[in-house]
Structure 1
């Protein structure tokens, strides 16, 4: 394994910038593929945003957590995760700016989106409680880890059921068509092409996320900023680039529910990245042992 601390600071900054650019491109391309999968299969844009976009755009956080844990920097991984969660709400404001004139929460018109946001808050509270009371080892992980996993699965099942029932919401007016976007094709890409593109983007995002983790650790040492500060700020922002690019593309495609699904889905799913920051130790164990600053952010 290459020791990146042996490289010069400009080289590491260059690698960091290239990895961030790859993540941005992959996030934009992934949204187009998820849109096609949603239309071709009928799974719904909110569910596609939650599972496809939210799951795959969480990969940089997972890569950072795993890589940081393997190198003994659990604080970097957990603080990056919690910093990214805090940035997700700010990212929604970027969608408002791109849309212009109307807030995303107004034009979505689906009560199930509000329900998903509530579930995200519930999961975050669960993580904070787990950090506060501590965890108990269970089957190689922790009791809270399994409990949160079961809770998230149940909440996603409720969201899918509510979206399929399609309760009527408000209807925004004077908005462009979902496909009224310059340069966009009238028909989505074929399903096979969308699936291949999704797999490609997932691989690129995961690989670039790993590169960000390695160079981020090296930059923390070379600049003297420290892993907790760097993880909660620069790495937290950079690993949120897939969400930013995916949300930007979703808004331009007029897939507003998908944009919300991306953000809320990421927030719900990436809580489990902390359990991987030390080779699978539960979140409470990691926080108690190595990152009190990150635990304070969670609380």
Structure 2
């Protein structure tokens, strides 16, 4: 892939917008395909969102983190992953606003979704712990990042078991939406075709997502933005764009657990990617090299996840500005966190 930093600024912006359009188109179709595959395989929607949709939409982060670590830019890799965790929760708030009819968390009725939120906050707290206390290198990889990756894998196993429990029942509308009808139509196709189409969409998300990240990085280089802000906001925002299109499509199709599972699943996959980022980096453990900026970033993601988890517990449909109170609080947390982080950006 060419070095976009050599292009004129207008060309970088054009590449970014073109890649964004490709990601949006592919991501919008992904949720329907994944939902159809999950139904044929007998997977619950929350676990399908975590494992399939979350895994696919994490592909741009995987490629960006690998490239950054191999090039010796471990801080960019860490900030990209932690930034993606916070921005994923911000995208959930945006999806709530698009949904508009009631608080999104009031229609999510699966204990696995709540368990994902709780486990996600615990793992983000573990990241903060390792960043603030330091990591120990074991065979070229930090012991802390290995423990966090193992924790993410164990969390996915726990969620898979919770998917079978029916603690709450959602109150869905009787009239299917246009997106829901499209998802039902996709389910009529044979499984091999669904897998092939999903794989093709995943390839588009991967290539266009990496192009988004590299063009965003080039834009930051040309404009002289802080490297910490670049990784946490610009690159993380670019690689999180597949999540936004998939989220909105899933919400409009009333596949709410699939949408939320995508967000929480993406965060689990991203935290798991700290281990390969560490293994591919030639320096000290990546979390040992992190500082206050990264610790605050992880805390921002943790607090935003906590806000939505409270919303899942309360299941109230009160809204403000077309979104639930939990979504509004998460936006305020993100804005306040970015203000604090700007003091420590380098």
TM over 0.5, yes or no? yes
Residue 284 to residue 194, structure 1, CA distance change in 2 (3 Å): farther
Q: Per-residue displacement from partner, 1:15-42 (whole Å, max 9, x unpaired)?
A: 1222222221221121111011011111
What TM-score comes out, normalization by structure 2 length?
0.78
- Displacement of 1:76 in angstroms is 2.4
Any unmatched runs of 5+ in structure 2? 300-346
- Displacement of 1:143 in angstroms is 1.6
Any unmatched runs of 5+ in structure 1? none
On the 8 A contact 1:137/1:143 being kept in 2, the answer is yes
| 1:33 equivalent in alignment to 2:33 | yes
- Displacement of 1:283 in angstroms is 11
Q: Which moved more, 1:135-144 or 1:15-24?
A: 135-144
Equivalent residue number for residue 171 of structure 2: 172
CA distance in 2, matches of 1:216, 1:291: 23
CA distance in 1, matches of 2:225, 2:169: 48
Q: Per-residue displacement from partner, 1:115-165 (whole Å, max 9, x unpaired)?
A: 11111111111111121222222234222222222222222111111112x
Q: Per-residue displacement from partner, 1:51-93 (whole Å, max 9, x unpaired)?
A: 0111111111222222222333323222222222111222222
Secondary structure at the counterpart of residue 182 of structure 2: coil
On the 8 A contact 1:84/1:232 being kept in 2, the answer is yes
Aligned length: 296
CA distance in 2, matches of 1:121, 1:290: 19
On the 8 A contact 2:140/2:279 being kept in 1, the answer is no
Equivalent residue number for residue 199 of structure 2: 199
- Displacement of 1:210 in angstroms is 2.2
Q: Which moved more, 1:282-291 or 1:114-123?
A: 282-291
Equivalent residue number for residue 181 of structure 1: 178
Runs of 4+ in 1 over 3 A off after TM superposition: 274-279, 281-284
CA distance in 2, matches of 1:246, 1:81: 19
Equivalent residue number for residue 293 of structure 1: 293
Q: Per-residue displacement from partner, 1:211-231 (whole Å, max 9, x unpaired)?
A: 233223322221111322222
Q: Which moved more, 1:135-144 or 1:14-23?
A: 135-144
Task: Say which structure, 1 or 2, has more relative contact order (CA 8 Å, 6+ apart).
Answer: 1
CA distance in 2, matches of 1:3, 1:88: 27
CA distance in 2, matches of 1:269, 1:45: 17
Secondary structure at the counterpart of residue 108 of structure 1: coil
On the 8 A contact 1:79/1:228 being kept in 2, the answer is yes
What TM-score comes out, normalization by structure 1 length?
0.90
Equivalent residue number for residue 160 of structure 2: 160
Residue 133 to residue 290, structure 1, CA distance change in 2 (3 Å): closer
